[in-house]
């Protein structure tokens, strides 16, 4: 069923339609949290649930003519993550992020890379980046969002997203060349 029709039905209170939207996007939102939180599965699950509960509660306020639904979800997810960090009164320790698991299915990633050492180098390189750079690279290359969708999710222009991507990739390359 077309996404716009599902959204309209969900806005009318049809749980089944919202369930289909949930099924379509839950893994993307979970993966976003999992990567941003350095592999904390339970917390990623909790925040994912919080996002979808919040979206269900406020779906009537979503404007189909505004931002794409996926961008709306990422904006809600980003706000939930900010709220979580604010309530914890601390930001995630960079060292613990580097040491923790980055990917949900390590075997799958390791099979595409030559060895575990390369995985560790890439994890360290990613977490070396500024949090905004991390976020944009995850949305672009892991979630495969368009620059427009990323811009809408982050509240930035497409040009700003392109600049952030360019700088993030450049910083990542510089880090990898040093290693």
Q: Note the pLDDT of residue 1.
A: 61
Contact between 168 and 136 (Cβ < 8 Å): yes
Strands of 71-179, DSSP E: none
* Reported pTM: 0.64
**Other C-beta atoms lying within 10 Å of the C-beta of residue 68:** 16
pLDDT in tens, the chain (179 residues): 698 899 999 999 999 999 999 999 999 999 988 888 878 899 999 999 999 999 999 998 888 777 889 999 999 999 999 888 887 754 444 444 444 444 444 454 445 445 556 656 766 777 778 888 888 888 887 778 899 989 988 889 999 999 999 898 888 888 878 87
Nearest to 84 by CA among 132, 44, 52: 44
Contacts of 48 by beta carbon, 8 Å cutoff, 6+ apart = 26, 29, 30, 33, 77
Q: Which CATH class is domain 1-92?
A: mainly alpha
pLDDT in tens, 118-142: 656 766 777 778 888 888 888 887 7
């Amino acid at each position: 069923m077309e996404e716009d029709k599902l959204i309209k039905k969900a806005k009318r209170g049809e749980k089944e339609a919202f369930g289909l939207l949930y099924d379509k996007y839950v893994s993307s939102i979970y993966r976003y949290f999992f990567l941003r939180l350095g592999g904390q599965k339970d917390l990623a699950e909790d925040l994912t649930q919080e996002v979808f509960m919040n979206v269900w509660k406020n779906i009537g306020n979503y404007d189909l003519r505004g931002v794409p639904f996926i961008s709306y979800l990422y904006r809600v997810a980003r706000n939930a993550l900010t709220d979580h960090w604010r309530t914890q009164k601390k930001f995630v320790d960079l060292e613990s992020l580097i040491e923790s698991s980055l990917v949900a299915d390590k075997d799958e990633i390791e099979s595409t890379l030559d060895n575990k050492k390369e995985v560790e180098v890439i994890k360290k390189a990613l977490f070396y980046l500024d949090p905004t750079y991390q976020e944009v690279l995850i949305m672009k290359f892991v979630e495969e969002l368009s620059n427009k969708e990323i811009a809408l999710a982050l509240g930035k222009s497409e040009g700003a997203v392109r600049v952030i991507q360019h700088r993030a990739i450049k910083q990542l390359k510089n880090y990898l060349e040093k290693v």
